[in-house]
Amino acid sequence: MNYFELFGLPQDFRLDVEQLTERYRELQRSVHPDRFANAGALERRLSVQHAARINQAFQTLKDPVERARYLLELHGSDIAGENPKLDQAFLLEQMELRETLADIRSHSDPHAVLDELSDTVRQRTETLIHLLGEQLQEASAQSLSAARTSVDKLMFLNKIHQEVNEMYDELMED
């Protein structure tokens, strides 16, 4: 049973996160180890294992990048351990974003520059997530290959987003 089946959801990149969360809570309540406190050792162990599987499935499906990676796996694509094959324009854009981030402190208004950078990364991420949904919906060999590239790009953008948040924290401390 795959993660989508576990939650009773269609196997689709575009899912309702609220519905996913609701199903998660229902499933967790039904298998929570406290409900099996007076049960035998085997039932308690199975409860813990099932709760762990539900947690893993929820963490995977609620995150767009992990959900896309999982869908690619379900389609037979193994992207683990492969080096990303990204186009030159995207790599140059990433270098520019990183340079902007590295130079934040030298600007007269670093918060404004950081806000602009954060908006750029957020918009680029939203665009890629939308594109990824289309690529995974089509599910042809060509679109799945493009989806793998989109996942790689999203991973780069997520890393920059994380660094932007860390810079916000650093600026707040100053």
| Helices and strands, counts by H and E, the chain | 7, 0
Q: Which tokens in the block code for residue 22? A: 């609701």
Nearest CA to 52 out of 37, 33, 26 is that of 33
Give the whole-angstrom CA distance, residue 58 versus residue 55.
5
Predicted pLDDT at 83? 67
Q: What domains can you pick out in the chain, each with its CATH number?
A: 3-62 (1.10.287.110), 88-173 (1.20.1280.20)
- Cα 87 to chain centroid, rounded: 21
Nearest CA to 150 out of 13, 35, 38 is that of 13
Residue 120: CA count within 13 A, CB half-sphere: 15
pLDDT in single tens digits along all 174 residues of the chain: 999 999 999 999 999 999 999 999 999 988 877 776 677 778 878 888 898 999 999 999 999 999 999 999 999 886 666 667 789 999 999 999 999 999 998 999 999 999 999 999 999 999 999 999 999 999 899 999 999 999 999 999 999 999 999 998 988 887
54-90: burial string, b at 16+ Cβ within 10 Å, e else? beebbebbeebbebbbbbbeeeebeeeeeeeeeeeeb
